[in-house]
Amino acid sequence: MSGISDILVLIKQVPDTSSKAGLNPDGTIDRAKAKRMLNPFDRYALQAALHVKKMYGGRVTALTMGPPPAVEILLEAIAHGADQGYLLSDRRLAASDTLATAYALHKCVLYLGKMDLIFTGLQTTDGDTAQVGPQIAERLDLPQVTYCEDFSIEEGKLHARRIVEGGHQDVICNLPALVTVANAYHQLEYKTLRGARLIQELNRDEALKNQYIHTITLDDVSADPELCGLKGSPTIVAHTDKVGQIGGQCVMHQGKSIEALVKEITGGTQIKEFVRQ
Amino acid sequence: MSEESPEIVKPINADQPVGEVLVFAEQCLGELQPVGLELLGAGRILADKLKRPLTAIVLGHNLGDIPKTLIAHGADKVYIADHPDLEQYRTLPYRRVICKWIEQMAVEPHTMLLGSTTTGRDLAPRIAAHFTTGLTADTTELDIGDYDHKGGSDPSKIGLYAHCLYAIRPSFGESLKARILGPWKNPQMATTRPGVMVPLKPDWERTGEVITIPVDIDSSDYRLAVKETFREVNQTVNLAQADVIVAGGYGLGNPEGFELIRKLADCFDNSAVGASRKVVDAGWIPYNHQIGQTGKTVRPKVYIACGISGAIQHRVGMQNSDLIIAINKDPDAPIFKFAHHGIVGDLYQVLPEMIRQLQSSQSSSPKEVSSVV
Ligand SMILES: Cc1cc2nc3c(=O)[nH]c(=O)nc-3n(C[C@H](O)[C@H](O)[C@H](O)COP(=O)(O)OP(=O)(O)OC[C@H]3O[C@@H](n4cnc5c(N)ncnc54)[C@H](O)[C@@H]3O)c2cc1C
């Protein structure tokens, strides 16, 4: 008996920086033009949630906060096997920092009801802070396992391995708990044919889609708008600078014989100095 | 006269009391982690600018000389929480002890700094959420300065603020530097990348106050237990002092690939072998060779990355090397975004050729010839 009935996974849509679309020359992102994708670490979190469902049972709910297009990643989660998706979308959330984001999301969790396990990605590729997960856990007074790279559930407890400097750490944690996932140990099964069909149907049939995906606002989850968005954010980005030396500086050696390529390197004075004599 | 001189704006927070600069000094298995001393180095500058004390807080059991070391490295005051249940880091007891201690202070700290380690990044957001205060992740520069907040949708925040923490961090894949501020609430918090800030030279004559702080752990703080911590603390691999590091990644394809890496390293004086986390996790080479966020931070004269993709977690450990040479068969590998020289090719062709050329340059060198004769 695992005793798991509800699993929540928090996911975010981020700009796809591997594609050139929407990338400004100065390295910033034009979010309107950029391609969008599921944050890579959140994919691992989704894998973890679906792994729990497969091994121990329970229902998987995917939750995201973002503008309306973020519904795409909820559909993706459903195609992979999540049971339902919630999109928190509200203009008053604009410019939320991690604290304000965590406040809004923890209100959603309270609105959704009891969760046995909450998974989030370790961090996002557009913020890189790794803060929102633990901030939600603090608000909900939950224990947390961050940097999780593998886990199992035994006798109603989470046995997890987390990444630490120079090694790893094994912990045992009571449920409910919040877990930030750093690695993909449980492969996401390819979208099943059934999943792909379901998405087609949902895109065709608005009423059916509404059974799977729920769009909610701050009012629905009784969140105080004063604690969200710019108002609820204790930090602001006051200034940004371009970093000089990074990017586009690499001298590429290719398209010649290996011998010639290597010569270009070994002939360099910076290297010669260190060659053992 | 006074009417003609420009109006001097008084900062909004001019009359508010300013607290200390508090550094969380992390220990692991009783050993102080270097990042704590680095934070003291940075914190000393902030504290001097604020004209406030620099304090350090350390939690653990049987802390021995740690308080003395912290004082020698710039702390004016050290708070110690000594308890068997604090020996190993766990989120909940640590956050409770620290939050309670801050709550009883007459004036809360102006700034609180933690390392961007797997411990600091686990703990800092809990403390920040507890105090609903701002936290900047992964900073690489810190400073104190004024800030004139001119606009935005929240009029209550507008105005001139004195002595704010400037928390500066790379963003957008290291291509931008963002200065993040949060002067509206103290403590202003930041985590700082290990290996970036410079510790002060220890002054063992320096004196400071050591204060033992209360430890009340709630039964709910035991919801997580640490079963085992495995840390490779063996320092035998001389990565820090090496002039040349040859590092291998998953592109080697198998553990035997490291023989080639070693052979190339042997072509150089004062060289060492490094590795990515992925090959360490795969068991191809021990942890003490790992470079990156959860490995070592290195700054050699030459860094040769072979079959390493250049993930951000690897990059932060080696990007300050003087000369970075990357060998990768994928021309779009991220490592080529920050290497100085990139060879696009199969390392199993490139490395043997490189070894051959370097060895032949050895034997043809006049120095070598004369020593043989
Ligand atoms: C919390 C956390 C902490 C981490 N800490 C660290 C850390 O400290 N250090 C670290 O390194 N990583 C760390 N990582 C992991 C990091 O994200 C990457 O997964 C890892 O660095 C990738 O290792 P790699 O480059 O060896 O492997 P891969 O990403 O698999 O790259 C292999 C590369 O080899 C190339 N290649 C393949 N075959 C050949 C060939 N025959 N010739 C030439 N090139 C070839 C490929 O094109 C590819 O670019 C951490 C991750 C997390 C989440």
pLDDT of residue B355: 96
Is residue A258 scored above 80 in pLDDT? yes
* Final residue of a structural domain among B175, B190, B222: B222
* Final residue of a structural domain among B172, B199, B222: B222
Report the alpha-carbon distance of residue A179 to residue A40 in Å, rounded.
16
* Final residue of a structural domain among B198, B222, B246: B222
Residues B91 and B193 in one domain: yes
**Within an 8 Å CB–CB cutoff, is residue B240 touching chain A?**
no
Structural domain spans, chain A? 6-227
Place of tokens 């040769």: B304
Nearest Cα residue to B98 out of B225, B221, B215, B220: B215
pLDDT interval class at B15 (50, 70, 90):
confident
We report the CATH number of the domain holding residue B76 as 3.40.50.620
C-beta separation of B189 from B127 below 8 A: yes
Pairwise CB contact (< 8 Å): B176 & A240:
yes
We report the CATH number of the domain holding residue B298 as 3.40.50.1220
pLDDT of residue B370: 35
**Joined tokens for residue A192:** 């099943």
Residues B176 and B28 in one domain: yes
- Which residue did the predictor score with more confidence, A16 or A82? A82
Q: B290 forms bridges with which residues in the sheet?
A: B275
Mean pLDDT of B229-252: 85
Residue B291, domain member (yes or no): yes
ipTM (interface predicted TM) = 0.91
Is residue B369 scored above 70 in pLDDT? no
Is residue A65 scored above 90 in pLDDT? yes
Q: How far is the CA of A162 from the centre of ligand 1 (A)?
A: 18
- CA end-to-end distance (rounded Å), chain B: 88
Residues B323 and B200 in one domain: no
3 state DSSP class of A100: helix
C-beta separation of A12 from A64 below 8 A: yes
Instruction: Show the DSSP H helices in B182-302 as ranges.
Output: 257-265, 277-281
**What is the amino acid identity at position A34?**
A
The mean pLDDT value of chain B amounts to: 91
Pairwise CB contact (< 8 Å): A234 & B134:
yes
Q: What does the pLDDT look like over A171-208, one tens digit per residue?
A: 999 999 999 999 877 766 666 778 888 889 998 999 99
**Joined tokens for residue B128:** 């920040």
Pocket of ligand 1 (CB under 6 A): A 122, 147, 163, 182; B 249-251, 276-279, 290-295, 307-309, 311, 313-314, 317, 327-330, 333, 346-348
Residues B205 and B255 in one domain: no
Residues B46 and B131 in one domain: yes
Residue A33 CB neighbour total at 10 angstroms: 11
Nearest Cα residue to B58 out of B50, B193, B35: B35
The mean pLDDT value of chain A amounts to: 90
pLDDT of residue A24: 67
A/B interface, count of CB pairs below 8 Å: 270
Q: What does the pLDDT look like over B92-108, one tens digit per residue?
A: 999 999 999 999 999 99
Q: How far is the CA of B307 from the centre of ligand 1 (A)?
A: 8
Dihedral of the alpha carbons of B346, B349, B353, B354, in degrees to the nearest 10: 30
Domain tally, chain B = 2
Q: What does the pLDDT look like over B262-276, one tens digit per residue?
A: 999 999 999 999 999
Residue B13, domain member (yes or no): no
Report the alpha-carbon distance of residue A266 to residue B260 in Å, rounded.
17
Residues B129 and B180 in one domain: yes
Residue B61 CB neighbour total at 10 angstroms: 14
Residues B105 and B189 in one domain: yes
Report the alpha-carbon distance of residue A154 to residue A163 in Å, rounded.
20
Nearest ligand 1 atom to alpha carbon B309: 49
Residue B4, domain member (yes or no): no
Residues B208 and B280 in one domain: no
**Within an 8 Å CB–CB cutoff, is residue B10 touching chain A?**
no
Residues B122 and B166 in one domain: yes
Is residue B373 scored above 50 in pLDDT? no
Is residue B232 scored above 80 in pLDDT? no
**Joined tokens for residue A22:** 């929407």
pLDDT of residue A20: 67
pLDDT interval class at B309 (50, 70, 90):
very high
Residues B283 and B169 in one domain: no
CATH superfamily of A6-227: HUPs (3.40.50.620)
3 state DSSP class of A187: coil
Residue A5 CB neighbour total at 10 angstroms: 12
Tell me which residue has its CA closest to atom 22 in ligand 1: B278
C-beta separation of B120 from B251 below 8 A: no
Is residue B323 scored above 90 in pLDDT? yes
Query: A73 to chain B nearest CA, in Å?
Result: 22
pLDDT of residue A26: 59
Q: What does the pLDDT look like over A123-153, one tens digit per residue?
A: 998 888 999 999 999 999 999 999 999 999 9
Q: How far is the CA of B273 from the centre of ligand 1 (A)?
A: 16
Residues B248 and B305 in one domain: yes
pLDDT interval class at A25 (50, 70, 90):
low
Mean pLDDT of B126-135: 98
Instruction: Say what the pTM is.
Output: 0.89
Residues B275 and B160 in one domain: no
Q: Give the mutation target among B191, B279, B289, B313 for probing the ligand 1 site: most ligand atoms within 8 A of CB.
A: B313
Pairwise CB contact (< 8 Å): A277 & B149:
no
pLDDT of residue B4: 55
pLDDT of residue A277: 80
Report the alpha-carbon distance of residue A52 to residue A48 in Å, rounded.
6
Domain of residue B114 covers 21-222
